[in-house]
Amino acid sequence: MPLFETVIGLEVHVQLNTKTKIFCNCKTSFADHQNTHTCPVCLGLPGALPVLNKEAVKKAMMFGNAVEATVHKKSIFNRKNYFYPDLPKGYQISQFEIPVVEGGHLMIDFKEGGQKRIGITRAHLEEDAGKNIHEASCSLVDLNRAGTPLLEIVSEPDMRSADEAVLYLKKLHAIVRYLGISDANMQEGSFRCDVNVSIRPKGDEKLYTRVEIKNMNSFRFIHQAIDYEVQRQIEAWEDGLYDEDVWQETRLFDADKGETRSMRGKEESADYRYFPEPDLLPVILDEKMMEEAKNIPEMPDAKKERYVTEFGLRPYDASVITSDVETARFFEEMVSAGAEPKEAAKWLTIELQGRLKGSAGIQESPVKAPQLAKLVKRIKEGVISAKAGKDVLDELFVQPEDVDEVIEKLGLKQVSDDSAILELIDGVLSSNPQKVDEYRGGKEKLFGFFVGQVMKASKGSANPAKVNELLKKRLNP
């Protein structure tokens, strides 16, 4: 029985956040009332001519520079011909022979350590289609989304598992968010993916029949769909039915049943009858635009490296923080407010994010960066213990008050006064004379018992460091 290798390539459609559509002046607010943001151009009326949105080109160029790709000084638009109700012209304006971005790569980070390079074949501009709305026995068409600028990013078939595919998508998602070229909201379809899956015997370099799973917009569902499809293809191979059951087709993922099902045969590029768009001149980029597009913010990998070298964070902690631009901003705001970086990272990634429910992002946190920074500082200063800090954080989730006010309200301020702690220590020692003699006789493990009794007597308010220091002096006169 042969062992199999999975081969995965991804085509990601990113909606660019321009104010207007790619070939007309209609707003890109497609969530408004149906068919209110349309014009002769995006309706495909006869005689209407497209005019290219310069901002869409700039955003595509920024992406190209972020993934170290070639940004072509000359690119052309093509007509991709196919019929569908939400495509009023009967063709889509896209790029085929010469895309604006070609080549490039990104690195994915594994939790257990190490990285892998995933190649990017190309990234090209195109217009989005409209939206079909199915109600009872009829279908309605909303063309508000038609003409929204898309950047389609095509990967090399370099991924070998569902885990790697999701890591690639998360890194790509982070990059477009860092660049600010898209909100990349998966629920709203601003970042959606077509997954190409095939299998082959291990050691075989041949690429076998690939199946496309269309329009995925959830990391979890993408993982499930790949796992199901890989298993389906392996079973077909082992049963001798590979040529019958696995053919070049487009499939949909049924999230309720956790399975893919056939939708239609997959078209080849010849089926689309590509030809140069006669209503648009070739795109020629001048030197000024080329230079402006290189002015991009610090990317996740560079930020991660800086956090490791500048703040001394562990590589994995740095990769968790930099995987999301909002989380990275939150962390940097904490450090700017005076929180020690390693402690800031721990309280952000473990305590704060651990309390956020479901898929809530850091931007939904009721506790803001200055509050969490202040809490971390109070623990560092010895005002409260780390254990008490968790209680303060719990309270801040319920009622967003000042950190110092919460500490006072809950009575969690640590006692650091020597005389007060010595009084507690003397009380514990006088109540346990036999154990004192045993300790002084060489049973040093009893030290932990005395510490625990003092902390219990103080109801957890004594500073543990002070307790240890003063207790040693009392037990070893």
**What gap in Å lies between CA 144 and CA 209, rounded to an integer?**
36
In the chain, the percentage of residues whose pLDDT exceeds 70 is 97
pLDDT reported for residue 154? 98
Read off the pLDDT of residues 178-199 as tens digits, 9 standing for 90 and up: 999 999 999 888 999 999 999 9
The amino acid occupying position 127 is E
pLDDT reported for residue 267? 63
Q: How confident is the model at residue 172 (pLDDT cuts 50, 70, 90)?
A: very high
**Predicted TM-score of the model (pTM):** 0.86
Q: 322: domain range?
A: 300-410
User: Is the confidence at residue 358, as pLDDT, over 80?
Assistant: no
Query: Is the same domain home to 258 and 358?
Result: no
Q: How confident is the model at residue 400 (pLDDT cuts 50, 70, 90)?
A: confident
Query: Is the same domain home to 288 and 309?
Result: no
Query: Is the same domain home to 80 and 176?
Result: yes
- Ranking 15-29, 51-65, 164-178, 426-440 by mean pLDDT, the lowest is 426-440
What CATH number does the domain containing 436 carry? 1.10.10.410
Q: How confident is the model at residue 444 (pLDDT cuts 50, 70, 90)?
A: confident
Query: Is the same domain home to 197 and 287?
Result: yes
Using the 3D structure, point to which of 232, 264, 292 is the last residue of a domain: 292
- Ranking 82-91, 113-122, 341-350 by mean pLDDT, the lowest is 82-91
Query: Is the same domain home to 462 and 429?
Result: yes
Average pLDDT, the chain: 91
Query: Is the same domain home to 92 and 166?
Result: yes
Using the 3D structure, point to which of 410, 434, 454 is the last residue of a domain: 410
Query: Is the same domain home to 50 and 13?
Result: yes
pLDDT reported for residue 449? 87
Query: Is the same domain home to 170 and 237?
Result: yes
* The residue count for the chain: 477
pLDDT reported for residue 303? 96
Greater pLDDT, 382 or 307: 307
Read off the pLDDT of residues 235-288 as tens digits, 9 standing for 90 and up: 999 889 888 888 888 999 998 899 998 887 766 667 788 999 999 999 999 999
Q: How confident is the model at residue 304 (pLDDT cuts 50, 70, 90)?
A: very high
Query: Is the same domain home to 456 and 385?
Result: no
User: Is the confidence at residue 213, as pLDDT, over 90?
Assistant: yes
pLDDT reported for residue 416? 64
Contact 134, 85 (CB under 8 A): no
Using the 3D structure, point to which of 243, 263, 292 is the last residue of a domain: 292
Average pLDDT over residues 5-26: 97
**What gap in Å lies between CA 246 and CA 129, rounded to an integer?**
29
Query: Is the same domain home to 239 and 99?
Result: yes
User: Is the confidence at residue 346, as pLDDT, over 90?
Assistant: yes
Q: How confident is the model at residue 477 (pLDDT cuts 50, 70, 90)?
A: low
Average pLDDT over residues 358-387: 89
**Count of the separate structural domains present in the chain:** 3
User: Is the confidence at residue 108, as pLDDT, over 90?
Assistant: yes
pLDDT reported for residue 114? 86
Query: Is the same domain home to 281 and 310?
Result: no
Average pLDDT over residues 382-391: 87
pLDDT reported for residue 77? 97
User: Is the confidence at residue 219, as pLDDT, over 90?
Assistant: yes
Query: Is the same domain home to 386 and 287?
Result: no
